[in-house]
Structure 1
Amino acid sequence: MMERHIVTESLAVQLLKEYRTGASFFFSSPERTILAEGVFAAVPEAEGLNQMENLTQRADAVLRQAKQAGQKRPIVVGAVPFDETKPVQLTVPDEVWHAGPLTFDQDEPKQPECATFGYDIQPVPAPEEYMNGVKQGLAGIAAGDFSKIVLSRSLHLTSPIKIDIGDLLNSLARHNSRGYTFAVDVSERAGGESETVRRTLIGASPELLVSRSGFRVSANPLAGSRPRSHDPHEDQRRAAELLASAKDRHEHAVVVEAVASALRPFCRTLDVPSEPSLITTETMWHLSTEIKGELTDLSISSLELAAALHPTPAVCGTPTDLARAAIKKIEPFERGFFTGMVGWCDSEGDGEWVVTIRCAEAEERALRLYAGAGIVAGSKPEDELAETSAKFRTMLRAMGMNSE
């Protein structure tokens, strides 16, 4: 039986230390820290090809089973992939600990051991191929196939020693204290336990897809970005340029309207600011809009809201179906859980779901990092390449690789 432990904020860091690769789910936000262990039951696959179909109902059924087994307020945790035909990785854990937000002292985390030995790095696709893909996306926009497409690339890193996922998670949390840090077991168990491919989805997303607390709903779409600079004057110049950019503001407005349109059917009221603001991470500036609403009905869960939003134009494009089809043709790899969603939803419907960006899928001695950029009319391939390079720095810095 799961016991729901409530601990003080001062012990949030202890939950981070208690994370165990392959055995735990970890999620931290500006509101709380969650550590979950064990698997009471997994949310089953859908019978048809579309794994998003009836997702909320399948999760609710598992939560009811957990309640019948004695759990007072069970919780679903895990990740949903970008591709709707791929299985979700959602479970009701055996045991969950909750704390307030993470707070750290000023001590710098030690450099991950792998950084000392170095990684072999392979970009997929190569930079030139990525820019060619952007040109294909621009051709599709010019032809009227879609108005925006998000194209991504990956870095495949191989380590000479076993990667310590716990150390990497700790470093990510310390370097991204204002965002959402997560680690989810996404191992593939095809053919039996002996053939399991152990894999962890790990990252520090700046983007809240949606949260629900009682009747209150929040979403924080991001679109439009600039890399940070170590020079304070240049950093502020880039921020001001982003806020004034007609191209980026249009790209941002498209995403905000899509998120608002998806939320309106569920909400009695919805507050959508008319102007974006700026938020910052260690590596990026982003245009940001905080959308807040009030639900019409408490039966609408955070998972139902998240499923209605996924994927937003911030990670896919507009129109969604046409952009997603083009992505599958242009990108030379499967996105997996990148640009999907990760988070939690309890049996009362409360929860938090974030967009799975600034992330990697980690195996014993390998990491696959992902980064994408939104392509609209007027985009330049070399600028989009530079943007993805800047977005890689969230993971690379946490790994002790402080390249510009």
Structure 2
Amino acid sequence: MVETPTFENACLQDFSALCRGFLFTSPWRSLATQGCYTTIDTPVQDAAQPQGAFQQQLRRHFADASKQGIAHPIVAGAIPFDVSQPAALFIPESHHLFHRTDLQRTLASPAEPLPQVRRRAAVPDHAGFTRMVADAVSAIRQGDPQKVVLSRLLDIVTEQPVDSAALMQRVIAQNPDSYHFHLPLPEGGALVGASPELLVRKQGRDFHTCPLAGSARRHPQDVQQDRAAGEALMQSAKDRHEHQLVTDAMRATLQPRSRLLSVPAVPSLLTTATLWHLATQIQGDVLDARENALSLACLLHPTPALSGFPHARACQLIQQLEPFDRRLFGGIVGWCDSEGNGEWVVTIRCGTVQGNRVRLFAGAGIVADSHPESEWRETGVKLDTMLRAFGLQ
């Protein structure tokens, strides 16, 4: 029988130990996991269906875990951008819920800097990315698709191995209001990030989602210029169009599965340390009580904020243009308990760490009015979230 230990908040003081399991922080609920009861790498292609094969398998895992003495089992981890690929999910032996303000109070500034960067390389490079955007704009102006999200990577090699817990500590300190995640990966290394975007939160029958689409660089050193950048974003026809494509698609997806659904007609502004975003706070309650946080997450994923619109054609264009496989980048990360509650966020503003190699990811929504050079700069600003942790803005 697996013993489920009781944790006190004193455990939050050992941050490196927290990062040996899955660490997820949120203004709603934060959690840290300990041990692994079983892994689940089955692709989540039918996980959106409460009575589908994946959800039936998950219920069996939960029942078996409970028989082994695991109280209130959860499933946690990450799902790739391409849901036909293996998931990186697991049921931990135990988990501990906490308020993230308690964690943030215990985090001291790391005494040692991260290792020096030996080299970094953009994938694709500037010329390749701008050509990729230009090709996408040409396809969109011909009417298919209306939007596509294109991304790029930044590969970093450091002089010594990177301590992913130390990197995570810096990321949390620099982005205190984001959703933070540190997930040890089956192949070694870790997925680390500070996502600004909630895909779905579910408690009881109620759910909440907040898609982001449309962004502008902030100017934190100049209050007036910063405010003007936010106001310009709200007035941008290009960004409002991009955002509307996302919210319309999410409304159409959620409506058949909801008893009530509220989708504001006008977006609001959301800020991170580096960017203004257009955001829409969507709320509803589920029609079928068998829905859980994972089924809703898989129903929505990937949203047009991560793929484009229409989804199938956008994905074809991504596969045609991007010179790499996104894998977990542009996917989702989070958790769901055996009662159906949970939270999933979009895997952006993130990177993978393995030894002395770090790979960072950033994307931008491309529509008919997009300019290749502007999209290069936008993805650069998004990469800053992780680069600032290395002192490499």
TM-score scaled by length of structure 2: 0.93
Say if 2:12 and 2:18, in contact at 8 Å, map to a contact too.
no
Say if 1:214 and 1:350, in contact at 8 Å, map to a contact too.
yes
Give the gaps of 5 or more residues in structure 2: none
Corresponding residue for residue 96 of structure 1: 95
Specify which of 360, 371, 374 is matched with residue 380 of structure 1.
Answer: 371
Say if 2:114 and 2:166, in contact at 8 Å, map to a contact too.
no
Secondary structure (helix, strand or coil) at the match of 2:100 reads coil
Q: How does 1:201-350 map to 2 (within 5 A)?
A: 201-229=191-219, 230-350=221-341
Say if 2:201 and 2:293, in contact at 8 Å, map to a contact too.
yes
Greater Cα offset, 56-65 or 368-377: 56-65
Corresponding residue for residue 31 of structure 2: 34
Corresponding residue for residue 200 of structure 1: 190
Secondary structure (helix, strand or coil) at the match of 1:348 reads coil
Corresponding residue for residue 158 of structure 1: 157
Q: Which amino acid aligns with 1:224?
A: G
Corresponding residue for residue 174 of structure 2: 175
Corresponding residue for residue 193 of structure 1: none
- In the alignment, the residues of structure 1 paired with residue 299 and residue 308 of structure 2 have an alpha-carbon distance, to the nearest angstrom, of 15
What is the aligned length? 386
How far has the Cα of 1:233 moved from its partner? 1.8
Secondary structure (helix, strand or coil) at the match of 1:113 reads coil
Corresponding residue for residue 42 of structure 2: 45
For residues 122-153 of structure 1, give each alpha carbon's deviation from its aligned partner in whole angstroms, at most 9, with x where no partner exists. Answer: 11100111000001111111222200000000
How far has the Cα of 1:274 moved from its partner? 1.2
For residues 250-277 of structure 1, give each alpha carbon's deviation from its aligned partner in whole angstroms, at most 9, with x where no partner exists. Answer: 1111111222222222211111111110
TM-score scaled by length of structure 1: 0.90
Corresponding residue for residue 122 of structure 2: 123
Give the gaps of 5 or more residues in structure 1: 189-197
- In the alignment, the residues of structure 1 paired with residue 56 and residue 125 of structure 2 have an alpha-carbon distance, to the nearest angstrom, of 42
Say if 2:114 and 2:167, in contact at 8 Å, map to a contact too.
no
For residues 215-235 of structure 1, give each alpha carbon's deviation from its aligned partner in whole angstroms, at most 9, with x where no partner exists. Answer: 110000000001111322221
Say if 1:148 and 1:374, in contact at 8 Å, map to a contact too.
yes
Q: Which amino acid aligns with 1:58?
A: Q
Corresponding residue for residue 24 of structure 1: 21
- In the alignment, the residues of structure 2 paired with residue 250 and residue 268 of structure 1 have an alpha-carbon distance, to the nearest angstrom, of 28
Say if 1:7 and 1:98, in contact at 8 Å, map to a contact too.
no
Pair 1:162–1:243, CA change in 2 (3 A): same
For residues 266-296 of structure 1, give each alpha carbon's deviation from its aligned partner in whole angstroms, at most 9, with x where no partner exists. Answer: 2111111111100101011100111111122
For residues 129-183 of structure 1, give each alpha carbon's deviation from its aligned partner in whole angstroms, at most 9, with x where no partner exists. Answer: 1000001111111222200000000100001101011111111111222110001
Say if 2:70 and 2:94, in contact at 8 Å, map to a contact too.
no
Q: Which amino acid aligns with 1:56?
A: Q
Q: RMSD value over aligned CA atoms?
A: 2.1
For residues 339-377 of structure 1, give each alpha carbon's deviation from its aligned partner in whole angstroms, at most 9, with x where no partner exists. Answer: 100000000000000000000011011100000000001
Q: Which amino acid aligns with 2:196?
A: P
Secondary structure (helix, strand or coil) at the match of 1:24 reads coil
Pair 1:328–1:286, CA change in 2 (3 A): same
- In the alignment, the residues of structure 1 paired with residue 377 and residue 362 of structure 2 have an alpha-carbon distance, to the nearest angstrom, of 11
Say if 2:71 and 2:94, in contact at 8 Å, map to a contact too.
no
Corresponding residue for residue 76 of structure 1: 75
Say if 1:213 and 1:351, in contact at 8 Å, map to a contact too.
yes
Identity of aligned residues (%): 38
